[in-house]
Amino acid sequence: MMNKIKFLLFLLAVNILIILPAKAEIFIEETDKYFYISLENEITKSDISELTNKTSNNLEKKIYIKLSSQGGNLISAMNIGRLLRKNNATATVREGEHCMSSCVFILAGAPYRNIYGDVGIHRPYLSDDKASSTSKQKNQHDKIKSIVTGYLKEMNITDELYEAMYRIPPDEILILSKNDIKRYGLSSVDPLQHDADIAVKSDKLGITSAELIKRKSVMNQACNKDLIKKDISEFVKCENEIIEKGNLEYRPKDIKMSQKDLIDTMDLIRPNWREITQSNDFQSWLNNLPSDQKESINSTWDPYFLNGKIQEYIDQKSNKDISVKSVKLSCKINQSDVLLDVNFNNSTVNDKSAKIDKNYIITSGKGANFIINRVTGHVKVEYNPPYSKKGVPLTPDYGSCIKVDSNKF
């Protein structure tokens, strides 16, 4: 009994994985069939109560949750994960956003996952660690391992994820690659949920599981994700024809985005695209391309193709000699307005010394590092350590700053 009490007290002490200043922001939108939830910032003890109170009376409604968190309370994260598993929820980490530390346990709990942003892990630890010897640390680590691996097993995730966490010190973050995410069982649909869905769907359609798997394989080729980006209604039709009707010969019509959809998508994925594409430098680069490449850029309705070409232009431009002497940038960082007056000639930002190399100048402020490209005025924003020695992206790579003025040699 005494050992059980000690373990329960230890469980309460497993507080947070990363200490952060802000409380979680939870936004819940309820419709007739769904809960749309956004969870941001630090995960706290009260978050599970708030989510349970809002959703417990409507268990038939499916949960879609967007995660953008640096971590927080471990036990609360696990309980939120259990809530998502019970609800057959879908969790999404959007491009440009992140799910770090204990947030990963929420992600693991959701049987359906869409991961486009960063997922980061490190070793779980106590917020008020009093274990002053290696033997005491060993005992403490064993208890944490028991809690974590027990939860991962509950969520059909192998111990390999915990072993990867354990190798990363608490003051660092390892950003998982796509292969890592797949290997640790965090990608897409949980295998048990996937096979259960196959059994339910094939029974409903009156076909065998093997036939449904064949249809899904054809659908994955014909109704690919690019179609979702262009026309969701055509994707639904494609899926219905192949899965529901068994029409394996069906192929979607060639879809082109409307001009408005193209512009809206470009504004989302690269807010400064107009400034770049309307510049004389870009037009000169475009005119020097082979005629077929130039025509494909001018005629494209695919924003992701256009964005790739803009990046190609920027990468090539960055390798050329630098001509910008100074640049003024108006930035939006951490919801604060920041004016950066960058002088590459004397290596200063806002009259303060900064690190500089051939193409970039690096400075700090607002709890972040600014890495400023001398050619484009593009600013990449990274958190300062201890969250990661390499830095964790805080914002999308582009769109943080607008070039106000520049002075060339």
DSSP states along 204-216: HHTS-HHHHHHHH
Residue 365's alpha-carbon distances to 315, 340, 383, in angstroms, are 26, 10, 10
Least confidently predicted of 41-45, 236-240, 398-402: 398-402
Boundary of a domain, candidates 183, 203, 228: 183
Q: Are residues 176 and 202 in the same domain?
A: no
* Amino acid 14: pLDDT: 43
Q: What percent of the chain has pLDDT over 70?
A: 68
Q: Which pTM value belongs to this model?
A: 0.56
The model's pLDDT over 39-94, given as tens digits with 9 standing for 90+, comes to: 888 888 888 888 888 887 777 788 889 998 888 889 999 999 999 999 889 998 88
What is the average pLDDT score of the chain?
Answer: 75
| Backbone phi and psi for residue 116, each to the nearest 5 degrees, phi listed first | -120, -20
* Amino acid 22: pLDDT: 45
Q: Is the pLDDT of residue 3 over 70?
A: no
Q: Is the pLDDT of residue 1 over 70?
A: no
Q: Are residues 274 and 149 in the same domain?
A: no
Number of domains in the chain: 4
The model's pLDDT over 251-310, given as tens digits with 9 standing for 90+, comes to: 776 655 566 767 777 777 777 888 888 888 888 888 888 777 777 777 766 676 777 788
Q: Are residues 294 and 198 in the same domain?
A: no
Whether 21 is covered by a domain: the verdict is: yes
The model's pLDDT over 177-226, given as tens digits with 9 standing for 90+, comes to: 888 999 999 988 899 999 999 999 999 999 999 999 999 888 887 776 66
Whether 252 is covered by a domain: the verdict is: no
The model's pLDDT over 105-136, given as tens digits with 9 standing for 90+, comes to: 999 999 999 888 889 999 887 776 777 788 88
Range of the structural domain that residue 298 is part of: 259-318
- pLDDT band, very low/low/confident/very high, at 11 (cuts 50, 70, 90): very low
Q: Are residues 290 and 218 in the same domain?
A: no
The residues, any chain, with a CB within 8 Å of residue 63's CB and separated by 6 or more, are 34, 35, 37, 55, 83, 84, 87, 89, 90
Measure the CA–CA gap between 17 and 22, rounded to whole angstroms: 14
Q: Are residues 358 and 283 in the same domain?
A: no
